Structure 1
């Protein structure tokens, strides 16, 4: 099981958000965002921020860092590390199972992530065998899109997906994000897409959108 940072609600937990960081970061990366989401005081959401394993990353000259999978070329959607993606998806499945054991049903769990973490969130969410409350991918893309049709789980065909991207992103080009959105939409998924005038980051208007989206999914 991955080690995780958790933020517990003031009340009993009635829902969970498993939020994955980007390449080279760690579980602390999005902890400060929780207080900025504008959630109601009694939201009952437990936030789980796992730390990715440390592994060599090819584009960074093989330097070991926290990464959900290897990036083998400068065009991040090429030469995809299917083995690493599948291994990280299995780790997230284990975290989902742990939340279920703690009393949170799958339909009260959101899988979220930024950049590389968002790619794993999208990949895992549409393949998870039981319905989730939602899937969120920020400044990211859909990896292994060519296997989506064969591997998608019927239970999450109508699960809401939130995607957001900066129009000036130099790391994950917005064209790649838009292509991923279109692939999901063409496959019948309900994708809410938002663009912001920013680079590879998050911004306050985007955080407000995330807060509203999570409230609609988990606080009703």
Structure 2
């Protein structure tokens, strides 16, 4: 069955493209929400990284009184161990995997592709990246959690067992509890994943100094790929 390509915002580098960052937005947002951050990453103008900010499909979201909005999956409840609708997670995983395959078809090796995301997009980044069958350059999950809360997904990928992972979370996060991010970190560390964790004094958002650190991490991942 063919997958309908996700609409997206694409930011091309000035140099010939040899790497890609796919950045997934949070609930109710769109690719436009994070596309302005590229200059704040401190990469300069002479880099070769394509940035893709896809838009999630629109669907009803249970915890938001069934209102229709851009969402990677339905959120059923606030229960940290059972909030994500797994059928929706798997459907979005298929679309994200299609984005990666599209970039590979354009000549970018998967080990030069970073999968990133914020909040619900971070959930999809972790879930998809940990299961992706080919080596990725890096996996980033900001202010997010694992779909099963304290458990890693089934079907983990051996090629990504040593892939660098970056996790950031706000100590005062009012949307995704800090504890949810910690549960994800502990599950990853227990399974010997190479996750780098950083807590920030902030709510459910990102900070300028955080974006600068993310830019350094992106460069490190691609330099070692």
Residue correspondence of structure 1 range 21-32 to structure 2 within 5 A = 21-32=25-36
> In the alignment, is residue 148 of structure 1 matched against residue 152 of structure 2?
yes
- d(CA) in 2 for partners of 1:178, 1:117: 17
- C-alpha displacement of 1:54: 0.1
- d(CA) in 2 for partners of 1:40, 1:8: 13
Write the deviation string for residues 148-183 of structure 1: whole angstroms up to 9, x where unpaired: 364101000000000000000011111110110010
Residue 111 of structure 1: aligned partner: 115
- d(CA) in 1 for partners of 2:130, 2:106: 23
Q: 2:49 aligns with which of 25, 45, 48?
A: 45
Contact 2:81–2:149 under 8 Å retained in 1: no
Write the deviation string for residues 5-38 of structure 1: whole angstroms up to 9, x where unpaired: 0000001111000000000000101111100111
Query: Could you say if the C-alpha distance between residues 150 and 69 of structure 1 is closer, same or farther in structure 2, counting changes exceeding 3 Å?
Result: closer
Residue correspondence of structure 1 range 8-157 to structure 2 within 5 A = 8-144=12-148, 148=152, 150-157=154-161
- d(CA) in 1 for partners of 2:179, 2:30: 26
Contact 2:114–2:139 under 8 Å retained in 1: yes
- Normalised to the residue count of structure 1, the TM-score between the two structures is 0.96
> In the alignment, is residue 159 of structure 1 matched against residue 152 of structure 2?
no
- d(CA) in 2 for partners of 1:62, 1:69: 12
Residue 208 of structure 1: aligned partner: 212
- Runs in 1 of length 4+ with deviation above 6 angstroms? none
- d(CA) in 2 for partners of 1:219, 1:45: 12
> In the alignment, is residue 184 of structure 1 matched against residue 188 of structure 2?
yes
- d(CA) in 2 for partners of 1:198, 1:147: 26
Query: Could you say if the C-alpha distance between residues 92 and 101 of structure 1 is closer, same or farther in structure 2, counting changes exceeding 3 Å?
Result: same
Contact 2:151–2:184 under 8 Å retained in 1: no
Q: For structure 1, list consecutive stretches of 5 or more residues without a partner in the other structure.
A: none
Equivalent pairs, count:
220
Contact 1:14–1:44 under 8 Å retained in 2: yes
- d(CA) in 2 for partners of 1:126, 1:62: 30
- Normalised to the residue count of structure 2, the TM-score between the two structures is 0.94
Contact 2:60–2:69 under 8 Å retained in 1: yes
Q: For structure 2, list consecutive stretches of 5 or more residues without a partner in the other structure.
A: none
- C-alpha displacement of 1:209: 0.8
